Amino acid sequence: MCVRIPAGSRCNTMHDALSLKDRLDQILEVEYTFRSTATPVAAIGELPLAERRYAIDWVERVASTNIELGYQYACRVSEALAGMDQHQVEAWALHAMDTYDREGLRPALEVIRRLDRFARERHERASGCVLEEKRGILHGFLQGLSGRRLKLEESDQIYTDTETLYLPPVLARLPDENDNFILYKVMMVTLWAQIRYGTFRCPLTEILAKQPDPERFLHLFQALEALRLEALIERELPGLHREMERIRGLPGEAEPAGEWHALRRRLARPGTRVTEAVRLAEEQQQRLEPGQPPPWQGVLQPELVEACMAARLEREKAKFRVTLKLLEDEHEPGRPPGEREKAGGSRFSKRELPAPELPEGMRTEILLDGKPMPLPEEVKGLISSIIVDLGEIPDAYLEPAGPGAYDPALFQDEVTDPDDVWSGVYHEEGAHLYREWDYRRQHYRKNWCAVREKSVTPVYDGFVEETLERYVGLVKHLRRIFEAMRDENRLLKRQNHGDNVDLDALVEALADARDGREMSERLFTRMHRTERNIAVIFMVDMSGSTKGWINDAERESLVLLCESLETLGDRYAIYGFSSITRKRCELYHIKHFDEPYAAEVKARISGIRPHDYTRMGFAIRHLTRVLSEVDARTRVLITLSDGKPDDYDSYRGDYGIEDTRRALIEARREGVHPYCITIDEQARDYLPRLYGPAAYTVIDDVRILPLKVSDIYRRLTT
Amino acid sequence: MNARILKLDEYLVDEEPFYQATSDEIAIFEAAYVNGLPLLLKGPTGCGKTRFMEYMAWRLKRPLITVSCHDDLTASDLVGRYLVKGGETVWVDGPLTQAVRSGGICYLDEIVEARKDTMVVIHPLADDRRVLPIEKLGSMIEATPEFCLTISYNPGYQSVLKDLKQSTRQRFVALEFDYPGVGLETAIVSRESGIDSETAAKLIKFAGMTRNLKGSGLEEGASTRLLVHAGKLIVSGITPVSACRGAIAQALTDDPDMLAAVNELSSSIF
Ligand SMILES: Nc1ncnc2c1ncn2[C@@H]1O[C@H](COP(=O)(O)OP(=O)(O)O)[C@@H](O)[C@H]1O
Ligand SMILES: [Mg+2]
């Protein structure tokens, strides 16, 4: 039970009418929790009226997430307002709520408790550069550099494991924001250079173990190796190198000592390898001090790197050999396997072509029976990743791997069956994460819904044929309607050229000619064919409430709909949706855009079964994304449902409606036209708010659904 | 009936165009030509297909009639139509008909962009009948042996709508075009734009970076054409970074993050 005051009544007079204490008691549910509101009441009571209202409003928003969190926030909000502006106090509250969503109550309370730390970091963020804000640019930049595709993650330490670059979430080391951005770029490039130019092509842990003082050796090695890499960066990315030189000299960085200059020159010679840096470090470790590192320098993590590399080498070798096998079969499907073995040896070979622009100095072609073979993009990526590690494609890799040579788990990196995720401990692997709008908070909950795409299990029971038989008449009627729509073309009159003579124009022109006036040349009619370019997704309610006749009617109407749409030739897809809590939001694929309406799709329609609850926001968000990836002039999302949004974990009432409304606004912003067709009699109360007055229909017989769809189409194309 | 006499000379390529062959495409084209086979040039935009056609037309001494297809292009636009001129109806040949009659080379660029009804007139020309049906005139014209049909198609656009049907594809001899290798491309860009080969090499390095971005943010990397444009700007005194920004980055994307990323890449090279 909940006695929270509904959002609509959160008006100004409210605060004045109720005493501050009553109001806080109510928000913080004192009646049930026996908390004492004395402290917050005293603190908030000190504030001027406008700030008092602001504070109470935010206490209410935070308490809507968690009462204890709201309570702690109430105790400290006036202190926060004393030290930060309202905008920052707001950010603090949101950060606490996001932390709660992500990690739970204890870390969220920690955010409230460590107000000072938040204020300090906030200050850094204001003057510094925030990774999250620049991620798009930095990531794009990183993908442009050659070699392996690398990922970007946040971490307090700067390092790489050879697959991911770890960078700090905020950089405020330099006084200027843009310089901090450049610093990010330089950090990224230096880590990339370690991978690309072979810093890890030597057994570092082994070498370290032999040193008298491994830690000191590592520092020295890192400094020397940095010189080698910098020289390479200078040659490869001179513009970036100039920026490095500029920020190196900024406050706090000492010039390197004289003896380093000689070492730098040695390591800058073209063709110098990592082994030279190792040798110099061994030679110099008794005499030379590593000196002050440049501001972009991170740490080396030899153990992490070696573990990551070992796993990758094995995985990529397997993947490569299995892929060759697939390619071989594809190119010569008819040849019996025995004959191949007789021929002996692999049919694959490689050819290395000089390519001075690459660090390896050559480009590798894969040949099948001595002829170059076009490779799919992902295989090219695999090859460049292998070459980054080994400098070449070793001959052993060119042996295709027969069935059973490897455990498929080794090279399949994704969870293929979404249900597997639930058999173990909960984790979000393989799910798309979508945000959700919390109207009480007036903000999104980030990464809130874990969304997975599954497929409806096909049921081959002749349901479609039966339905078609039952509605022979209707099907014919529908076909006629949709056929007429297909041919809805406009006749253009008085054209310069065209398919037929425009009689009216001709008569006029002849009259003109007889009168001695100039005769018009615009005497034709022409059919203007509106080439249809629509993509539609049907989003079908598969919640538990559809059980019984609604489910039957839904399936029948989908059959009728598909029959009709096939006449039209437009692209359409069908997905079902259902959920049980935010952690289990499911979209059931029934028909993809590219899939023909054939036996399997029909069997999936027959297989549609009611599942759990009706969370709608995630489904709209995900399908909007699917729609925005198809190439079409008009994109339409039609929801078929039997009732309001509703889910087990508080996705009810206003919360569900407001999130759905948000998701629809986002969809429109992406250029998607949303419509809703429902059989919920009460829908008139909330649908206008969601879809606008013109974009929904309440029907009592689901079989007329195709007719409603044809209305929507007509409205869109004329 | 033939009111307009085709001025063949207009379409002849008089001077040898500069075309840098990248493989055996010239020999294959010539072999297809003497056998009366139609050709399909596959490849991303700006990698030399149009230039190749100009070169082949010059080499074979045939007029070249190029049509850039767009989504309003109909069969009548290709074949021809009646017009009224001074109170009389006049038949006017479309470009395809002109090429068929005069034994020219007809190049239909980006064929998938055209309306579907255009395929109907192309198919009988592209098999061994080699005829063009003209519905309006109620006649068929047979192509002369010199006539050659070539279409182009960019398989990079991952879209069902923009896919070439098997029934069309299988009538043509296909030539695959791609960005030339680093050495050739450097030569092409510096020759076409007049920049020194060192700057050209940097432009090509930059192009390579944008091509790495294909599929992860960009639909397509920088084409040879864009590099030539940037080179020309540089010759006119624009700084390389600005030239890359204006002639390449802006042409590749409108996404602000991607634009910024691409600009960061170019400024790190120069
Ligand atoms: N192989 C080549 N030889 C000479 N110039 C080329 C070559 N490839 C590309 N170019 C240059 O690139 C420009 C664009 O090529 P173009 O033939 O118009 O491309 P496409 O027709 O493939 O879109 C040409 O104008 C020319 O400057
Ligand atoms: Mg062209």
The three-state secondary structure class of A529 is coil
Specify if A464 maps to a domain.
Answer: no
Specify if A457 maps to a domain.
Answer: no
**Residue A13 confidence class, pLDDT cut points 50, 70, 90:** very low
- C-alpha–C-alpha distance, residues B60 and B33, integer Å: 9
Q: How many angstroms separate the alpha carbon of residue B45 from the centre of ligand 2?
A: 6
For chain B, how many residues are written?
A: 270
Q: Are residues A155 and A104 in the same domain?
A: no
Specify if B256 maps to a domain.
Answer: yes
A559 to chain B, minimum CA–CA distance in Å? 24
Please state, for a pLDDT cut of 70, what percent of chain A lies above it: 89
A682 close to B (CB below 8 A): no
Specify if A419 maps to a domain.
Answer: no
A167: β partners: A154
Q: Are residues A134 and A275 in the same domain?
A: yes
Question: Which one-letter amino acid corresponds to residue B158?
Answer: Q
The three-state secondary structure class of A197 is coil
Candidate from A149, A240, A521 with C-beta closest to B84:
A521
Boundary residue ending a domain (B176, B203, B233) = B176
- Nearest ligand (C-alpha, residue B207): 1
ipTM for the complex shown: 0.87
B42, B51, B66: residue to mutate for ligand 1 pocket, most atoms within 8 A of CB: B51
Chain B interface mutation, best of A185, A192, A364, A497, highest count of B Cβ atoms under 10 Å: A497
Please state, for a pLDDT cut of 90, what percent of chain A lies above it: 37
0.80 surpassed by pTM? no
Q: Does the beta carbon of B228 lie inside 6 Å of ligand 1?
A: yes
Q: Average pLDDT, whole number, for chain A?
A: 84
Q: Whose CA is nearest to atom 23 of ligand 1?
A: B46
- Looking at residue A252, its pLDDT comes to 44
pLDDT tens digits, residue range B28-38?
999 999 999 99
Candidate from B76, B213, B266 with C-beta closest to A143:
B213
Q: Are residues A64 and A101 in the same domain?
A: yes
Convert A2-24 into a string of H (helix), E (strand) and C (coil).
CCCCCHHHCCHHHHHHCCHHHHH
Contact B162 A631 (CB under 8 A): yes
Specify if B123 maps to a domain.
Answer: yes
Residue A714 has pLDDT above 80, yes or no: no
Torsion sign over Cα A645, A651, A657, A662: negative
Specify if A197 maps to a domain.
Answer: yes
Q: Are residues B239 and B114 in the same domain?
A: no
Give the range of the structural domain holding residue B133, as residue numbers without chain letter.
8-176
- C-alpha–C-alpha distance, residues B170 and B157, integer Å: 20
Boundary residue ending a domain (B131, B154, B176) = B176
Task: Say how many C-beta atoms besides its own lie within 10 A of residue B156's C-beta.
Answer: 16
List of chain B residues whose C-beta atoms are within 8 Å of the C-beta of residue A594:
160
Q: How many Å separate Cα A8 from the centre of its chain?
A: 34
Can you list the alpha helix ranges (DSSP code H) found in B182-223?
182-193, 197-212
The residues in A 532-591 lying below 8 A from B, measured between CB atoms, are: 533, 571
Which CATH number do you get for residue B78?
A: 3.40.50.300
Contact A149 B216 (CB under 8 A): yes
Q: Does the beta carbon of B42 lie inside 6 Å of ligand 1?
A: no
List of chain A residues whose C-beta atoms are within 8 Å of the C-beta of residue B76:
497
Contact B270 A593 (CB under 8 A): no
Task: Tell me the backbone φ, ψ of residue A203, rounded to 5 degrees.
Answer: -75, 85
Boundary residue ending a domain (B142, B176, B210) = B176
Considering its fold, how many domains does chain B have in total?
Answer: 2
Specify if B3 maps to a domain.
Answer: no
Specify if B263 maps to a domain.
Answer: yes
Which CATH number do you get for residue A681?
A: 3.40.50.410
- Distance linking the first and last C-alpha atoms of chain B: 62
Specify if A439 maps to a domain.
Answer: no
Nearest residue to A262 (alpha-carbon basis) of A300, A288, A233, A296: A288
Q: Does the beta carbon of B45 lie inside 6 Å of ligand 1?
A: yes
Q: Report whether A173 contacts A180 (CB < 8 A).
A: yes
Considering only residues A345 and A351, tell me which one the structure prediction assigns the higher pLDDT.
A351
Q: Are residues B109 and B214 in the same domain?
A: no
Residue ranges with strand state E in B69-176: 80-85, 88-93, 105-109, 131-134, 139-142, 148-153, 173-176
Contact A377 B157 (CB under 8 A): no
Q: Are residues A71 and A216 in the same domain?
A: no
Specify if B86 maps to a domain.
Answer: yes
Task: Say how many C-beta atoms besides its own lie within 10 A of residue A533's C-beta.
Answer: 15
Give percent helix, percent strand, percent coil of chain B, each to the nearest 5.
45, 15, 35
pLDDT tens digits, residue range A146-185?
889 899 988 889 999 999 999 998 888 888 889 999 999 9
Q: Does the beta carbon of B46 lie inside 6 Å of ligand 1?
A: yes
Q: Are residues A119 and A135 in the same domain?
A: no
CA atoms within 13 A of residue A191's CA, in its CB half-sphere: 29
Q: Does the beta carbon of B48 lie inside 6 Å of ligand 1?
A: yes
Specify if A655 maps to a domain.
Answer: yes
Q: Are residues B158 and B198 in the same domain?
A: no
Q: Are residues B202 and B158 in the same domain?
A: no
**Residue B51 confidence class, pLDDT cut points 50, 70, 90:** very high
Q: Are residues B243 and B125 in the same domain?
A: no
Contact A357 B264 (CB under 8 A): no
Q: Are residues A711 and A588 in the same domain?
A: yes
Specify if B167 maps to a domain.
Answer: yes
Specify if B58 maps to a domain.
Answer: yes
Sheet (strand B105-109) strand order: B64-68, B105-109, B148-153, B39-42, B173-176
Q: How many angstroms separate the alpha carbon of residue A515 from the centre of ligand 2?
A: 50
- Looking at residue A408, its pLDDT comes to 66
**Residue A485 confidence class, pLDDT cut points 50, 70, 90:** confident
Write out the DSSP string of A216-228. Answer: HHHHHHHHHHHHH
CA atoms within 13 A of residue A590's CA, in its CB half-sphere: 26
Contact A144 B241 (CB under 8 A): no
**Residue of chain A with shortest Cα separation from B87:** A519
Q: Are residues B25 and B150 in the same domain?
A: yes
Q: Are residues A517 and A592 in the same domain?
A: no
Nearest residue to A256 (alpha-carbon basis) of A228, A294, A215: A294
Report the DSSP pairing between strands A571-579 and A534-541: parallel
A707 to chain B, minimum CA–CA distance in Å? 26
pLDDT tens digits, residue range B230-269?
999 999 999 999 999 999 999 999 888 999 999 999 999 9
List of chain A residues whose C-beta atoms are within 8 Å of the C-beta of residue B215:
377
Q: DSSP class of residue A670?
A: T
pLDDT tens digits, residue range A391-443?
899 999 999 887 677 776 666 544 444 444 443 334 456 688 899 998 888 88
A239 to chain B, minimum CA–CA distance in Å? 4
Q: Are residues B154 and B204 in the same domain?
A: no
Q: Residues with Cβ < 8 Å from A6, sequence gap 6 or more?
A: A654
Write out the DSSP string of A185-238. Answer: HHHHHHHHHHHHTTTTSS-HHHHHHTSSSHHHHHHHHHHHHHHHHHHHHHHH-H
Give the range of the structural domain holding residue A392, as residue numbers without chain letter.
304-333+341-411
Q: Are residues A211 and A290 in the same domain?
A: yes
Q: Report whether A452 contacts A430 (CB < 8 A).
A: yes
Cα–Cα distances in Å, from B153 out to A410, A531, B165?
Answer: 39, 20, 11
Cα–Cα distances in Å, from A524 out to A520, A614, B79?
Answer: 11, 56, 18
Q: Are residues B33 and B137 in the same domain?
A: yes
Specify if A442 maps to a domain.
Answer: no
Q: Are residues B111 and B153 in the same domain?
A: yes
Q: Which residue has the tokens 């002996």?
A: A344
Q: Are residues B168 and B126 in the same domain?
A: yes
Q: Are residues B18 and B108 in the same domain?
A: yes
Specify if A473 maps to a domain.
Answer: no
Q: Are residues B52 and B151 in the same domain?
A: yes
Candidate from A239, A355, A513 with C-beta closest to B182:
A355
**Residue A14 confidence class, pLDDT cut points 50, 70, 90:** very low
Q: Are residues A543 and A689 in the same domain?
A: yes
Q: Are residues A352 and A245 in the same domain?
A: no
pLDDT tens digits, residue range A672-685?
989 888 877 777 78
List of chain A residues whose C-beta atoms are within 8 Å of the C-beta of residue B82:
497, 524
Q: Are residues A144 and A248 in the same domain?
A: yes
A vs B, Cβ pairs < 8 A, gives 90
Torsion of CA B113, B114, B119, B124, to 10 degrees: -110
The residues in A 356-375 lying below 8 A from B, measured between CB atoms, are: 357
Q: Are residues A705 and A651 in the same domain?
A: yes
Specify if B1 maps to a domain.
Answer: no
Candidate from A146, A513, A632 with C-beta closest to B87:
A513
List of chain B residues whose C-beta atoms are within 8 Å of the C-beta of residue A185:
264, 268
Considering its fold, how many domains does chain A have in total?
Answer: 5
CA atoms within 13 A of residue A118's CA, in its CB half-sphere: 21
Residue A609, both tokens: 């079964």
